Every structure is written in structure tokens, then in C-alpha cells.
Amino acid sequence: MVIDEGLRQVLQRANRVVVLTGAGISAESGVPTFREAQDGLWDQYDPEDVATPEAFQRNPRRVWAWYAHRRQLAQEVEPNAGHWALVEWSRALSWLQVVTQNVDGLHQRAGSEHVIELHGNIHRDRVFDGPLAAEVDDAELPRCPETGAVLRPDVVWFGEQLPEGAMEQAVAAVRSADLMLSVGTSAVVQPAASLPLEALEREIPVVEINAEPTPLTPVASWHFLGSAGELVPTLVRSAASG
């Protein structure tokens, strides 16, 4: 990784940083993607069978079993050098905001204090606000201890809106930043993919780190192909070397 003098100066001057992260940074910890987690008994199911409100209405037990499987996979891994480097960098800045598409909670486990979770968190539950199918036996389903309402995983399923206010907070963070990183994200999933473009429109430098080129690559201020676990710590060291 070669950091030119222009980027070095940007890194060393930066004081308010937004970092958008995607599946790539979690994959380095061993967190499987949605498709990769569909192994063994689960490889026969499509996302519509386990990750939509309609799937939960039809068969909440199957959906809960799937997410118990994914929670176990997420609990068995640890944050990697990319996660730790962001925490280290945050201590040297006025402010570092993580905006993540991941649901595994690894940023928080590493110690990041300012995290916007665009797609929720697989380790949390929330009340299911729709009706279950008439034939569903809802006995022994997880329930809210206060209201008795049926609970569901607190993640964004296919076809659902993002958590209320999450995107607005992310956009506001980008607009107040002096540097943005896009790390381990395909730059195609909306609305998250619009955030680096928002930064560029406001002449805020954007650094992309990803294992392969993305639609963001041609327009990013700087882009690096490779491992987030290797490249993010390198950027942080460069930022601290001034």
C-alpha cells in the first residue's frame, strides 16, 4: 500500500471522520455472508423463506431457528485488526462515526462508541408488528417481557425500510465530516451506497478499501484493493505519523 503525500496530508489533517463498513470487514473475522451461512440444513432455503416479514408470518419458528444459527456463527468470531484500528483512530480524533451495513456488532465489541447500524443488530430483538398466519402455533415463541408481544430479530429483512432515523443520522454525519472511508462494501446496496457520493458532492475526500473494484472505485479520491485488516491499520498509522 503506497500512501501518496496528498493522502498523507488529508489523513493527518482529518479531525471528523465517517467510516462506512460492509460485509468485507466482517468476513475477515470469519463472519459468513448471508449466503455463506446457508450451509448444511439451511442450503435448501431462499432468503424469502427466512428473511422477510412474510416468512416470519408463515413460519416464525423456522425464522427464529435460522437466526439462532446466524447468532451462534457471529458469537464465535472476534473483531479483527480493521475494527481495532478504527477504535484506536477514534481516540486521536474529535469524532469518528462508524456507519455499518453489518449486523454482527463487531464494531461495538471492539470498542467503537459511535455506530449507526443501518441494517440492525442480529443480537437484539424487537416486537413483531404484523399478524401471524392463522395456523401458526405461537406458543413458546420469544415474547416481550413487558407486553407479551411476539419478538423478532432486530434486523432489516428484505423489502423492509431501514430503522427510523438511521439514514438521516448517517447523512448528517457525512455532511459534517472532513474525511470519509468506505471499507469492505460493494457500493451497490442502497441507500448506503449513496453516502460516499454525498461526501464527494460536498468535496469531502473519500478513501475506498475493498477486496475488488466497485462502482465507487472510479470516482473515489483514493482507492486501495486489499484486506481491511491490513489496509485500515496502515491508514491509521499514517494519520498518526504527522
Question: What do you get for the CA distance between the two ends of the chain, in Å?
Answer: 18
Q: Report the C-alpha gap between 225 and 208 in whole angstroms.
A: 8
* The pLDDT of residue 72: 92
- Helix H or strand E segment including 149: none
Grid cell digits, residue 147: 407486553
**Catalytic (active site) residue 123:** no
- pLDDT level of residue 224 (50, 70, 90 thresholds): very high
* The pLDDT of residue 215: 97
Instruction: Give the pLDDT mean for 182-193.
Output: 95
User: What are the strands of the beta sheet with 222-225, ordered from one edge?
Assistant: 115-117, 95-100, 16-21, 179-183, 206-210, 222-225
* The pLDDT of residue 2: 79
Catalytic residue (choose from 83, 119, 123, 223)? 119
Question: Which domains occur in the chain, in start order?
Answer: 1-30+78-119+162-242 (3.40.50.1220), 32-76+122-155 (3.30.1600.10)
Instruction: Give the pLDDT mean for 92-110.
Output: 96
Q: What percent of the chain has pLDDT over 70?
A: 94
Pairing of strands 179-183, 16-21: parallel
Q: Report the C-alpha gap between 180 and 208 in whole angstroms.
A: 9
